[in-house]
């Protein structure tokens, strides 16, 4: 169901243009040898884009000489501008912001192929089509803009896939890209990021001998957040048990106040990094942590990508789809069942399902990781 006049108008225009399009666009006509310019789309959140990096690597391996340009969210694309497998980034501004400007930028590149790994609709498929790209591939392909895709059959939904990394790899396979070895997320660290983290730790009187534990207390939706009072109790107990522990409360600049309240309640061994380190340098901080306690968040995926162990708290989301995909022996996942049927997800006003995750349970998992 379209919820705005703009959505409805765009749909009608796309239907009309597609009815006049005489090009042979079905995937059966796709010839990899004719591909020189590729658009890869992963324009949503940090974690979603990290989950796309293994697929982007397979595209580079299959098309080593192609010009590969990414369409990433402007809010987080600075994290990925050093990805070795892309030649550039065209930003996604959200919704219809700069919609036609984005189409114009796409057109200038004259892409032969678009691979939509994870993109917001109704923008992702129409912008690719309006830019003149002949072959557009996306999975799942059961949405209202399925008629714009080159892979219209077989019809697949999210239920047809396991982990999100596997879903993206399936999109890449449509263009002849097959992963070699175990797919891993890629997030190269920056030298200047190490310097920024050193400065933050020095300013917080954290010494190299201190063991750092990270608490990611926020999330993209309330439904994925554990409770502030439980983080506080966990932090106090951890410091009481282990004297050389320092707790770093991570988050976005907008979450600073919330993070500060939790840090102040824990005590003098808790520090806030939210807003104090630029986003592009946050992976360098996460890499320094002994372990990160987190919900299903972008920084959780950062930790997995940089090799930092996690204690992940899942209820509304499914860890089998968005949790650790590799190195599972170093991570701990606490998965609880949803308590509301149907789940309100982004509209959640109180995360009842997260009540099922106790401080004792998290503490025990956390101690196992730290002592290991």
The tens digit of pLDDT for each residue in 10-27 reads 999 999 999 999 999 999
How many Å apart are CA 173 and CA 195, to the nearest integer? 39
Residue 184 is assigned to a structural domain of this protein: no
Q: Choose the final residue of a domain: 173, 207, 234.
A: 173
Torsion of CA 81, 83, 85, 88, to 10 degrees: 0
Determine the pLDDT at residue 344.
Answer: 84
Q: Choose the final residue of a domain: 173, 200, 217.
A: 173
Residues 317 and 258 in one domain: yes
Can you say whether the dihedral through the CA atoms of 147, 148, 150, 156 is positive or negative?
A: negative
Residues 210 and 344 in one domain: yes
Residues 77 and 146 in one domain: yes
Residue 365 is assigned to a structural domain of this protein: yes
Q: Residue 184's pLDDT band (boundaries 50, 70, 90)?
A: very high
For the chain, what is the mean pLDDT?
Answer: 95
Residues 154 and 200 in one domain: no
Residues 19 and 79 in one domain: yes
> Above 80 in pLDDT, residue 3?
no
Q: Please list the alpha-helical segments (H only) found in the chain.
A: 5-20, 46-62, 99-109, 124-130, 164-173, 191-203, 228-241, 256-266, 282-288, 298-306, 319-322, 359-371
Residues 74 and 196 in one domain: no
Task: Say what percent of the chain tops pLDDT 90.
Answer: 91
> Strand, helix or coil at 335?
strand
Task: Say what percent of the chain tops pLDDT 70.
Answer: 99
For residues 230 and 4, which has the higher predicted lDDT (pLDDT)? 230
Q: Choose the final residue of a domain: 141, 173, 205.
A: 173
Residues 361 and 226 in one domain: yes
Number of structural domains the chain divides into: 2
Instruction: Evaluate whether 328 touches 163 at the Cβ level (below 8 Å).
Output: no
What pLDDT, in 10s, does the model give residues 291-343? 999 999 999 999 999 999 999 999 999 999 999 999 999 999 999 998 888 88
Residues 142 and 264 in one domain: no
Residue 285 is assigned to a structural domain of this protein: yes
Residue 274 is assigned to a structural domain of this protein: yes
Determine the pLDDT at residue 337.
Answer: 93
How many Å apart are CA 372 and CA 356, to the nearest integer? 26
Stated pTM of the model: 0.95
Residues 129 and 240 in one domain: no
**Of the candidates 49, 355, 73, 41, the residue with the CA atom closest to the CA atom of residue 225:** 355
Instruction: Evaluate whether 193 touches 280 at the Cβ level (below 8 Å).
Output: yes
* Domain span including residue 100: 5-173
For residues 180 and 2, which has the higher predicted lDDT (pLDDT)? 180
Residues 152 and 200 in one domain: no
Cis peptide before 54 (omega within 30 of 0): no
How many Å apart are CA 286 and CA 304, to the nearest integer? 10
DSSP code of residue 356: G
Determine the pLDDT at residue 149.
Answer: 98
> Strand, helix or coil at 145?
coil
What pLDDT, in 10s, does the model give residues 235-284? 999 999 998 899 999 999 999 999 999 999 999 999 999 999 999 999 99
Strand ranges of the sheet holding 310-314, from the earlier edge strand across to the other edge = 270-272, 245-250, 211-216, 291-294, 310-314, 332-335
Instruction: Evaluate whether 359 touches 237 at the Cβ level (below 8 Å).
Output: yes
What pLDDT, in 10s, does the model give residues 120-179? 999 999 999 999 999 999 999 999 999 999 999 999 999 999 999 999 999 999 999 999
Residue 33 is assigned to a structural domain of this protein: yes
Residue 180 is assigned to a structural domain of this protein: no
Instruction: Evaluate whether 30 touches 150 at the Cβ level (below 8 Å).
Output: yes
> Above 70 in pLDDT, residue 1?
no
Residue 260 is assigned to a structural domain of this protein: yes
Residues 153 and 210 in one domain: no
Determine the pLDDT at residue 243.
Answer: 83
> Above 60 in pLDDT, residue 206?
yes
Residues 158 and 210 in one domain: no
CATH number at residue 133: 3.40.50.2000
Q: Residue 346's pLDDT band (boundaries 50, 70, 90)?
A: confident
Residue 186 is assigned to a structural domain of this protein: no
Determine the pLDDT at residue 4.
Answer: 86
């Amino acid at each position: 169901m379209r919820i705005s006049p703009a959505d409805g108008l765009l749909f009608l225009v796309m239907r009309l243009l597609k009815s006049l399009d005489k090009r042979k666009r079905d995937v059966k006509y796709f010839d990899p040898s004719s591909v020189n310019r590729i658009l890869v789309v992963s324009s949503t959140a940090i974690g979603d884009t990290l989950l796309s990096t293994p697929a982007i690597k397979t595209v580079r391996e299959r098309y080593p000489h192609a010009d590969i340009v990414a369409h990433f969210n402007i809010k987080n694309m600075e994290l990925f501008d050093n990805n070795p497998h892309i030649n550039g980034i065209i930003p996604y501004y959200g919704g219809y912001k700069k919609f036609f400007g984005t189409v114009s930028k796409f057109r200038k590149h004259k892409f032969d192929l678009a691979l939509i790994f994870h993109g917001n609709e109704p923008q992702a498929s129409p912008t690719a089509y309006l830019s003149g790209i002949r072959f557009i591939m996306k999975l799942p392909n059961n949405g209202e803009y399925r008629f714009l895709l080159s892979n219209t059959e077989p019809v697949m939904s999210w239920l047809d896939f396991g982990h999100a990394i596997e879903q993206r790899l399936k999109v890449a396979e449509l263009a002849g890209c097959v992963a070699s070895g175990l797919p891993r997320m890629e997030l190269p660290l920056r030298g200047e990021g190490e310097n920024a983290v050193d400065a933050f730790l020095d300013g917080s009187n954290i010494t190299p001998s201190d063991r750092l534990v990270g608490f990611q207390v926020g999330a993209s939706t309330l439904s994925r957040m554990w409770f502030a009072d439980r983080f506080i109790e966990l932090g106090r107990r951890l410091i009481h048990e282990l004297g050389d522990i320092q707790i770093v409360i991570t988050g976005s600049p907008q979450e600073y106040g919330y993070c500060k309240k939790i840090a102040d309640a824990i005590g003098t061994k808790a520090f806030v990094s939210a807003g104090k380190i630029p986003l592009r340098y946050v992976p360098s901080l996460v890499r320094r942590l002994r372990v990160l306690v987190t919900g299903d968040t972008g920084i959780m995926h950062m930790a997995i990508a940089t090799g930092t162990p996690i204690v992940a708290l899942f209820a509304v989301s499914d860890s089998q789809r968005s949790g650790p995909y590799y190195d599972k022996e170093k991570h701990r996942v606490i998965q609880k069942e949803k308590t509301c049927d149907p789940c309100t997800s982004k509209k959640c006003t109180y995360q009842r399902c997260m009540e099922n995750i106790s401080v004792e349970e998290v503490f025990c998992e956390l101690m196992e990781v730290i002592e290991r």
